[in-house]
Structure 1
């Protein structure tokens, strides 16, 4: 019955996949095929069965039977990638809701947010933390064209220490026991087992909470939670299974330890210092600063949204907005686009671009590259998305004006196509 219920819910949001060998021709006014290259003038993109077949200068007539999409007054560029979202979450401080809402409810919330995210121009996301099997269901749903949304790379629940950020906290012991998500571990062997269990369930990336968190109820600081041995066990096990690892990390020594363990990305990195940035550079870890997360929680201060414990931690982090990312970029650590959407309302993801330019010091082209080619490399999808080129998935967006001159143009996306399917 539960399976049938889910299938019914998913079908309500269905949008049709293109017929086999359907040909679509797009006329672009300006074309950014790769953010590291100059924009082209009027161009024609030919798409067959969801993949880009060719690009030509000028506006070439569509062949008989092909669908023509006229974007000749717009700038067309690759679909954007947000490497840190929580589709099944909406902003707020109601931590108790996990005790009263079902996974079916969180799936519905995720369906809503997936559609909002796609319409905002983000055709690929990495979902880093969702209840049980919710993220995996959403990923499959968008992949098969059953629901409207971006391509989703899902971690499922984040791996946590007992009582740490990512564990169920703030409830009576018997409630905690009932809510336990089996995502905690103690010691290297148990941590390796958690990675393997998530891989068995369908995780496409592993996330663990290397340090304390801002929005969890513990007032235990934002430094390292896992031991060095536990972190290494998580990373080595995940890599042996072909999975990349994202580490939630705020405190400098926790960041340094996660980087030494070999994580692929440091998420947030709020208090990164010279030692932790040097460790990231040595290990090859990239930095996903999620600055919009701090903007989002700042908007909720003083409104009885967060508990006093959480408000204290929010205020502790706010004065560091953008500093670590600027220092990391100056040191040669790649800074990649990610927002933590869900902490703030989904659909506002593109506001992160402004901060990457104004606070981190990127050019608009560098900021766009961080959300296209750079993000695609981090996700291991560089041969699938992030560029407009023959053989790539037809993930396109269109905006007014020139985003290479004014990156804020990306905050108003006029047209979206994902996997060759135009979003109506």
Structure 2
């Protein structure tokens, strides 16, 4: 018997199982079941998991027994789908001097990422979209969590972001010879070269293409937050990615950069800070989702004025602070899809669920905020038939909490138990 967090698990000690091994049958006794954000708590239930999938859901409190099964007693807890964060940076932590790029090898990102993958999963996030890393660090983490070698969430990995030369996402702040040595190899100029870099990312193993459509807050590039790629370059990126079956996510702050990215057919706008009516109209027309990352702004504001950021970065932070959340409010009013993403790594990993209350503060209902991190996020990933709800045939991505998140989304800031792909995160 293993007793942890007051939850009784009748099974072999998890550490004795081979890496990636899952018990044949797992019987999960649930006190209150929330199958998806559109439903209500439905009382006691039993979930039966086999080989990482949900194979049966039985309503009611009648005990289900099987001598050969693992029994997981969550009869005092609310069980709901695992959460999905569409914008994280597992391989990095907040703060730190930008010059460390010259002293830390890319392999160190895998070490940091393994730590943060576990923290993120324990916070209730069972799927994440890694929104930019060195060439193979996120791909290594993706494989490690998929095979059960590293405890953590399912990872949808972008790899290095496409950027303009000298723009946000490219290396800057050093002398040119150092910039050239540190570059990721994914900056591009012109439609043809940008198409080539998309194909290069696809060949390397990217699940999604990340681009920096506008200037950014935390880079040493100090030329504002407006559009950087041309419309022709973004169109080329979107068309090439879609021809390869890949979606595109665009870091974008300035309104005209957001509008151009959406018009090009880019699938999600990350941040969307200065989105105006014209930009949001184009987003709605094309079905482009907004991923607001409100926690990023909270995270950087907590470190403002403490000598953590350079003066050029502090100036850009102050440029954004009066706009945080306003685009979310307007996007909801205009019917633009809003999907959950935090930019974890800009703030401390594990605080991801604090984004939910910020979304509610910006005008979403509690149910809409939870949907953004479950069913809406799953649909954004084209994985709505696999994750985002508790249903037969879906991945066994489950979390247990106290209370009802439909009454208070802050209950999701303390998760007591997590299962990813049928594996308990301990």
Aligned to 1:134: 137
TM-score with structure 2 setting the length:
0.95
Matching of residue 72 in structure 1 with residue 75 in structure 2? yes
The 1:40–1:18 alpha-carbon spacing in structure 2 relative to 1, beyond 3 Å, is: farther
Give deviations 1:81-108, integer Å, cap 9, x for gaps.
Answer: 0000000010014111111100111110
CA distance in 2, matches of 1:227, 1:242: 23
Are 1:14 and 1:145, in contact at CA under 8 Å, matched by a contact in 2?
no
Provide the residue aligned with 2:369 in structure 1.
Answer: 367
- Whether the 8 Å contact between 2:23 and 2:70 is mirrored in structure 1 is no
Shift of 1:379: 1.0
- Report what 2:182 is aligned to: 179
Query: Corresponding residue for 2:107?
Result: 104
Give the 3-state SS of the residue equivalent to 1:413 in structure 2: coil
Q: Is the 8 A contact 1:17 1:421 kept in 2?
A: no
Whether contact under 8 Å (2:22, 2:423) holds in the other structure is no
* Native 8 Å contact 2:289 2:339 kept in 1: yes
Displacement of 1:390 in angstroms is 0.5
Contact (CA 8 Å) 1:80, 1:372: kept in 2 or not? yes
* TM-aligned CA deviation for residue 75 of structure 1: 0.5
CA RMSD, Structure 1 to Structure 2 (Å): 1.3
User: Which of 304, 307, 310 in structure 2 is aligned with 1:307?
Assistant: 310
Gap regions ≥5 residues in structure 2: 1-14
Residue in structure 2 matched with residue 257 of structure 1 by the alignment:
260
1:270 aligns with 2:281: no
With over 3 angstroms needed to count, the CA separation of the structure-2 counterparts of 1:20 and 1:72, relative to structure 1, is closer
**What displacement does 1:62 show?**
2.1
Shift of the 317–16 alpha-carbon distance from structure 1 to 2, 3 Å rule, reads farther
1:84-95 correspondence to structure 2 within 5 Å? 84-95=87-98
> Which has the higher mean CA deviation after the structures are superposed, 168-177 or 203-212?
168-177
1:327 aligns with 2:335: no
- The match for 1:402 among 401, 404, 422 is 404
**Residue 420 (structure 2) aligns with:** 418
How has the CA–CA distance of structure 1 residues 93 and 276 changed in structure 2, closer, same or farther, with 3 Å as cutoff?
farther
Instruction: Give the alignment partner of residue 337 of structure 1, picking from 337, 340, 350.
Output: 340
Q: Residues 307 and 18 (structure 1 numbering): CA distance in 2 closer, same or farther, change over 3 Å?
A: closer
Deviation at 1:319, TM superposition (A): 1.0
CA 1:29–1:79: 2 relative to 1, 3 Å: same
Q: Say which is worse superposed, 243-252 or 17-26, in terms of deviation.
A: 17-26
Provide the C-alpha distance between the structure 1 equivalents of 2:252 and 2:78, rounded to a whole number of angstroms: 37
Find out whether 1:190 has 2:193 as its counterpart: yes
- Equivalent residue number for residue 119 of structure 1: 122
Q: Give 1:358 deviation, angstroms.
A: 1.4
- 8 Å CA contact retained: 2:191, 2:233: yes
Q: Deviations over 1:213-236 (max 9, x none)?
A: 001112201010001100000000
Q: 2:384 aligns with which of 350, 362, 382?
A: 382
Rate the CA distance shift 1:93–1:221 in 2: closer, same or farther, 3 A. Answer: farther
Aligned to 1:49: 51
Q: Which of 290, 308, 315 is the equivalent residue of 1:287?
A: 290
**TM-score where L is the length of structure 1:** 0.95
Deviation at 1:423, TM superposition (A): 1.3
- Between the aligned partners of 1:169 and 1:413, the Cα distance in structure 2 is 39
Runs of 4+ in 1 over 3 A off after TM superposition: 13-21
Q: Structure 2 CA distance, aligned partners of 1:418 and 1:155?
A: 21
Taking a change above 3 Å as real, the CA distance of residues 17 and 28 of structure 1, as seen in their structure-2 partners, is: farther
**Unpaired segments of 5 or more residues in structure 1?**
1-12
Matched length = 411
Residue aligned with 1:293, SS: helix
Q: Could you report, residue by residue, the CA deviation over 1:17-56 in whole angstroms, capped at 9, with x for unpaired residues? A: 5646610011111101111112211010011111000111
3-state SS of paired residue (1:97): helix
